[in-house]
Each structure stands twice: as C-alpha cells, then as structure tokens.
Amino acid sequence: MNLRGMMAIYKFEMARTGRTLLQSIVSPVISTSLYFVVFGSAIGTRITEIGGVPYGAFIVPGLIMLTLLTQSISNASFGIFFPKFTGTIYEILSAPVSHVEVVLGFVGAAATKSVILGLIILATAGLFVPLQVAHPLWMLLFLVLTAMTFSLFGFIIGIWADNFEQLQLVPLLVVTPLAFLGGSFYSIDMLPDVWQKVTLFNPVLYLISGFRWSFYEIADVGVGVSLGMISVFLGICIAIVWWMLRTGYRIKS
C-alpha cells in the first residue's frame, strides 16, 4: 500500500479546512448554537422533558447528527468533485496510488473533519445545557461509523454530480429533510401510530436513535437495530464506490 500517496491526499484535504475555517467550523457551530436558542428556549418552555431528559439536552444528539450528516456529505462530495471539475482528477488516477488508497485519502479526511466538528459541537452544547454521556465509547463508535458512512455517500455524490447544482441537490432535498423527520427534535412516541410506522422507513431515525441512546439510554428503536442499519448502509456505499471506480463511472468518460 502506498501510504505516502494516501497521506498526501489526506493531508491536502485536511489543510483545506484551515483555508476555509469560517465555512467549515465556525458556521456550523453558530448554526447549532442558534438551534439551541430557538428550540431550547422557545419549544423548551412548552416541552419540559422527554423520557425524563430535559428537552434542551434531549435535542443535543439530534443536532450533532444533523450536522455530522450534512458536513460529511459536503466535505467528501466537494473533495472529489473539484478535482473532477478542474481536470486534476486524471493526475490522481495516473499517480501510483490504488483506488482504495484514493478513497481512503478523501473519505478519511472528510470523516475526520466531521468527527472533529461533532466533538466541537458537543463541547459547545455543554455551554447551553447540562450533558451526560452514559456510554462514551458507544458514542464515539456511532460518531465514527456515521461519519465514515456518509462521507462515502458524499464521495458517491461527488462522482455522480456534473455541476455544483447537482452537488447540492441530494443533501438539500433528501438528507436534510430526512434528518429533521428522523427524530432530531422529538421522540417518535409523540407521533400518531400511523406516522410512527411511516417514520420507521426513515433510515436516519436509526442513526439518531442509537446515538441518543449512548447519551441517555433512551431510544426509539433497539441499539442493535441501529448498528445493523448503519452497517447495511455502509456496505451499500462501499459496494457502489467500488463499482464506480472499477468501471470509471463519470470519471474516465
């Protein structure tokens, strides 16, 4: 394995965070803080607690997961799309690095940035509400698995997209609505029976539920089911990336 080539891609992508610090770190943290002000203060006065957890603290895992999903997709999709857009992707493909090393470089950097951002938001949330993490290792596991999975998903979008509009299409019209409707700010037990069953078809629900369990040991679905759903989605993303790189889909053509 060409570790030097893989690390070159990884370090270049990580360095981009320093060049876009305002957009990559500061903006998501400010946005999350506003969520606490609006939802924690306004709605928190009407919904004091859910499952024995104060409402302000209850929404923390959902907010972290919402940011994690969007930033993982954004970082990974732009990371591979921009070389394709400028034509420098051919220099990467002709370099002595395998497809696996290219994916590990781009996706590893995107996932690392997302995990760091998630931890920063977690620390920021501690300034607004009292937090407890019942299972820190499980919390980190869910954080890393989700970041890796959706960074791979973003990598797929970056290869598929032909322009900047398509690059933003899936995150804005699909992922963000699913995150909002996946129990980020509420428990599905608060919904009517019909909508509870409909929500079970939302894959993001399982991510948020498992992540919230690692904090407060309350979940809308079983932890094992949440891990299973993440693993299935991760496997699907790996299979699609492998097919894209093997066939040269929208890269070599």
Whether the CB-CB separation of 70 and 79 falls below 8 Å is answered with no
Query: What is the reported pTM?
Result: 0.91
What integer is the mean pLDDT of 76-84?
91
Position of tokens 């360095």?
15
Q: Give residue 240's pLDDT.
A: 95
Q: For residue range 6-51, list pLDDT tens digits in order.
A: 999 999 889 877 777 667 778 888 887 787 777 766 666 677 788 8
Cα 16 from Cα 34, distance rounded (Å): 26
Cα 71 from Cα 194, distance rounded (Å): 32
DSSP state of 95: S
Q: What percent of the chain has pLDDT over 90?
A: 46
For 231, other C-beta atoms within 10 Å of its C-beta total: 12
Q: For residue range 115-126, list pLDDT tens digits in order.
A: 999 999 898 888
Q: For residue range 89-122, list pLDDT tens digits in order.
A: 888 878 888 889 999 999 999 999 999 999 998 9
Residue 175 amino acid letter: V
Cα 230 from Cα 130, distance rounded (Å): 28
Cα 93 from Cα 108, distance rounded (Å): 18
Q: Give residue 18's pLDDT.
A: 73
